[in-house]
Amino acid sequence: MRVFSPVLLGHAGRPFRPWGFDAIADDLIAQLDRQNAWPAFLFGYSFGVYLAFYLANRHPERVAGIISLGGQILRDETGKRFARYVYSAERISRFAPEKRAQMEQSYGGAALMEITLARTRALLNDLDANPPVDEALLRSIRAPVLLVTGDADQFAPIRSFKVVTKLIPHARTLVFPGSAHPLSSAPIDAIIAHTRRFLREASAPRPFSIGSRQMKPPYRAQVAQVTWCT
């Protein structure tokens, strides 16, 4: 099994232009094309969850399955407000000097941090106005899906998570105590174990059961490729 971790636009020194959800998704597809990475299992964390489901709807023949961690798949008002608060200048202005310095270092300097946060706020506004994932899209997903979240994750409220589980035809779920934000607070070992089991069963050359339902070919992976989208 190969694991490929793409670098999205605006990350790790990559430019912000072009910018916007469609530009980020198109760039991700281009990266996977260059890697000859299809069909792929897409592991989406936080914002990467939107990309995973969007790609599964746009290119169903290319997506072997989805693992979703800590993503607010359907953006409700509580999650929207919390996301805007997290990236707000008001919140960050209240950081202690030591914490702000650590944050600036993680972004590559104060100037780049301010640019990144401003771009992120603009992207959130765009997602609120034009959601890339809706109920109809989720109902259309035919790839196997593993949905993972924490029961206290404010980025991905559990009530929204429960709605999503009823919409996706072939979904398994894993809910753990606590939050997936930051990622270091999540039970990584347990998530890895469940992900490995999911990948084994979804890649098997036979139907596999999800609750009372069965996944049948062609919804099994012929090539085991995992792409992490964060």
Q: Which CATH number do you get for residue 52?
A: 3.40.50.1820
Asked whether residue 62 falls in the same domain as residue 90, the answer is: no
Q: Is 77 helix (H, G, I), strand (E, B) or coil?
A: helix
Asked whether residue 69 falls in the same domain as residue 152, the answer is: yes
Measured over the CA atoms of residue 72, residue 77, residue 79 and residue 83, the dihedral's sign is: positive
Q: Give the C-alpha separation, 112 to 105, whole Å.
A: 10
Asked whether residue 88 falls in the same domain as residue 70, the answer is: no
CB 39 within 8 A of CB 225: yes
Instruction: Return the exposure string of 56-69: e unless at least 16 CB atoms fall within 10 Å of the residue's CB, then b.
Output: bbeeeebbbbbbbb
Domain boundary (84, 102, 130) is at: 130
Asked whether residue 201 falls in the same domain as residue 142, the answer is: yes
Q: Give the C-alpha separation, 226 to 1, whole Å.
A: 8
Asked whether residue 30 falls in the same domain as residue 65, the answer is: yes
3-state helix, strand, coil in the chain (%, to 5): 50, 15, 35
Domain count, the chain: 2
Asked whether residue 16 falls in the same domain as residue 95, the answer is: no
User: pTM of the predicted model, to two decimals?
Assistant: 0.82
Asked whether residue 189 falls in the same domain as residue 81, the answer is: no
Asked whether residue 152 falls in the same domain as residue 220, the answer is: yes
Asked whether residue 40 falls in the same domain as residue 149, the answer is: yes
Strands of 40-45's sheet in order across: 2-4, 225-229, 40-45, 63-69, 145-150, 171-176
Domain boundary (113, 130, 147) is at: 130
| pLDDT tens over the chain, length 230 residues | 788 888 888 877 788 778 889 999 999 999 999 988 888 999 999 889 999 999 999 999 999 999 999 988 888 888 888 888 888 988 988 999 999 999 888 888 888 888 888 988 999 898 888 888 999 999 999 899 999 999 998 888 888 888 999 999 779 999 999 998 888 899 999 999 999 999 998 887 544 333 333 333 333 332 334 444 44
Q: Give the C-alpha separation, 93 to 89, whole Å.
A: 6
Q: Is 59 helix (H, G, I), strand (E, B) or coil?
A: coil
Domain boundary (87, 108, 130) is at: 130
Query: What's the domain range around 110?
Result: 76-130
Question: What amino acid occupies position 147?
Answer: L
Asked whether residue 67 falls in the same domain as residue 103, the answer is: no
